[in-house]
Amino acid sequence: MIFEEVKQLLISKFGEEVILAEEAAQKQPALIIKADLIADVCLFLRDCPETWFDFLSCLTGVDYGVEQQKFGVIYHLSSIIKNHTLVLKVVQENDRATDNLPSFKSISAVYKAAEWHEREAFDLVGIFFENHPDLRRILLPDDWEGFPLRKDYQNAESYRNIKIEL
């Protein structure tokens, strides 16, 4: 099973502290990775001959809710050549203040497709990606206030004096 193999490869390369937890009983098993190592882990998994995760199929920002006070990013990696997939997650606590965005390392230097995915997570969830080459809104106007996919987001009544009807 690729999940156990990857887990052992990561432990042998980065040490036991690289994996904070695992969700093995899911339909898509996931490894929860130490957040500051995510770019290194992705680079290793992309270039490792045993895994060859050459494709980032999805990157998603997650708001775990007001009560939990944490945000995360989920990475879906695939190997086209080896025909296997893997889910990685990073999580961090955050006080939800708009001037203190949750921050994770960008993996755009590892997977070019991450540039767009990370911009979307920034735009809609308010997750900042360190070392991203062009982190700005991608779906909403530049002057939009707030992050619509956050659990505590309040819909605006108007935008540029145009009433928003829901």
Share of the chain above pLDDT 70, in %: 99
CATH fold of the domain at 2-163 = Beta Polymerase; domain 2 (3.30.460)
Share of the chain above pLDDT 90, in %: 87
Q: Which residues pair with 91 in a beta bridge?
A: 72
Q: Which residues pair with 58 in a beta bridge?
A: 76
pLDDT digits (tens, 9 = 90+) for 67-125: 999 999 999 999 999 999 999 999 999 999 888 999 999 999 999 999 999 999 999 99
Nearest residue to 114 (alpha-carbon basis) of 93, 131, 100: 131
Residue 58, CA atoms < 13 Å, CB-side half-sphere: 9
Q: What phi, psi does 10 have (nearest 5°)?
A: -65, -40
3-state class percentages of the chain: helix first, strand second, coil last, to nearest 5: 25, 30, 45
- Tell me what pLDDT residue 155 has: 86
What residue type is assigned to position 130 of the chain?
Answer: E
Assign 4 a pLDDT band (cuts: 50, 70, 90).
very high
